[in-house]
């Protein structure tokens, strides 16, 4: 977990046929991350091989200020998605680009990809033996090119610590906010989300966005029940209660719920409770035992187990990191 308040340098490595939105996402999202006194926390710069102009999929050229040498000093390297080129057509990558990415990783830089940028990381050999994700529409092709990567096309992003990957387009926003939250806490990430007018986190995974032959209708949705459950995180909420609130059978409710969120009701509740516990640890002086009850875990042991599983550290360690310079947050998002 990183909590370095000094300026963090981010290099965005753009290749030919870069996806326009993916290219702009890091500068927009990380550019909004600031301390309480509005000091910027990140500096985002763009580079290309040879510092040459490249094509984007949005009908404009990218004229960068830097070449691959930018990767030599960046704390984080982000590869946006591409819609054409060797990484997508045959699974290969220019040797100089691959070497620069591997060198950055070897010296300790955090490496990230947005959408089909995962093809670039995989071609550079940075994803072998790792869990990763990319846009669901490219999953079969990715598996053909890179069978040694544990691809999970159902999630919005995968945080592997030093290497992180995200699904298509808007999932890059989710990943950037996740990194800000990991680096500087939920208060900073939530402010960035508000400035970008996006949710601090989205529920479920990208399986909810995969094309289906029959569209869901509002009348059969579970959104109202999810909101009802959010207001009762401190209470034990059974599956039958959720189904009854939605006026569905348990089987029908579970099917609709998973279709809409990509998660089972139990997984979703655990996700919501963990995020609520995270915010309480950052923004209140409640004891861990009290937070366990407020977040609906019941016991401190259950909170510790699930929090460590999802966040990677114990609740007390998380609080020590993010309560050093506490900032008030009005309410749980």
DSSP-H helix ranges across the chain: 20-31, 86-89, 95-106, 117-123, 139-145, 171-184, 186-196, 223-230, 239-246, 250-261, 265-283, 288-294, 300-311, 315-322
Tokens of 12: 């965005």
As a whole number of angstroms, the distance between CA 55 and CA 61 comes to 5
Are 210 and 136 within 8 A, CB to CB?
A: yes
Determine the pLDDT at residue 323: 66
Are 178 and 157 within 8 A, CB to CB?
A: yes
> In whole angstroms, how far apart are CA 246 and each of 214, 226, 256, 262, 315?
20, 9, 10, 18, 33
Tell me the pLDDT of the chain averaged across its residues. 87
pLDDT greater than 70 at residue 6: no
| Residue 269 exposed, middle or buried by CB count within 10 Å (0-12, 13-18, 19+) | buried
pTM: 0.69
Determine the pLDDT at residue 163: 96
Confidence of residue 244 (pLDDT cuts 50, 70, 90): very high
Q: What mean pLDDT is predicted for residues 171-185?
A: 91
Dmax of the chain from CA atoms?
Answer: 61
**Closest CA relative to residue 287, chosen from 258, 315, 245:** 315
pLDDT greater than 90 at residue 216: no
Q: What mean pLDDT is predicted for residues 94-101?
A: 97
Confidence of residue 296 (pLDDT cuts 50, 70, 90): very high
Determine the pLDDT at residue 19: 94
pLDDT greater than 50 at residue 73: yes
Determine the pLDDT at residue 62: 93
Confidence of residue 331 (pLDDT cuts 50, 70, 90): very low
Determine the pLDDT at residue 197: 83
């Amino acid at each position: 977990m990183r909590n370095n308040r000094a300026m963090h340098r981010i290099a965005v490595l753009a290749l030919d046929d870069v996806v326009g939105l993916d290219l702009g996402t890091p500068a927009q999202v990380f550019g909004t991350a600031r301390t309480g006194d509005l000091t910027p926390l990140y500096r985002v710069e763009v580079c290309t091989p040879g510092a040459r102009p490249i094509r984007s999929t949005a009908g404009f050229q990218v004229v960068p200020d830097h070449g691959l040498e930018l990767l030599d000093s960046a704390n984080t390297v982000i590869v946006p998605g591409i819609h054409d080129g060797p990484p997508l057509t045959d699974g290969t990558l220019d040797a100089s680009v691959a070497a620069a990415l591997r060198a950055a990783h070897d010296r300790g830089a955090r490496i990230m990809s947005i959408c089909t940028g995962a093809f670039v990381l995989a071609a550079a050999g940075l994803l072998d033996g790792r869990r990763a994700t990319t846009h669901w529409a490219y999953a079969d092709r990715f598996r053909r090119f890179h069978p040694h990567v544990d691809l999970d096309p159902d999630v919005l992003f995968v945080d592997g610590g030093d290497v992180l990957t995200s699904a298509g387009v808007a999932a890059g926003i989710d990943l950037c906010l996740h990194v800000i939250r990991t680096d500087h806490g939920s208060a900073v990430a939530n402010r960035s989300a508000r400035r970008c007018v996006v949710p601090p986190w989205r529920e479920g995974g990208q399986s909810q966005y995969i094309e289906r032959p029959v569209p869901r209708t509002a009348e059969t949705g579970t959104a109202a029940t999810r909101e009802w459950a959010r207001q009762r995180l401190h209470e034990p909420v059974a599956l039958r209660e959720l189904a009854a609130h939605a006026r569905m059978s348990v089987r029908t409710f579970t099917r609709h719920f998973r279709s809409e969120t990509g998660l089972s009701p139990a997984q979703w509740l655990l996700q919501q409770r963990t995020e609520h516990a995270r915010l309480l640890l950052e923004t209140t002086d409640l004891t861990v035992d009290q937070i366990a009850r407020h977040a609906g875990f019941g016991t401190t042991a259950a909170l510790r187990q699930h929090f460590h599983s999802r966040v990677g550290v114990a609740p007390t360690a998380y609080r020590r990191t993010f309560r050093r310079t506490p900032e008030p947050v009005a309410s749980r998002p």
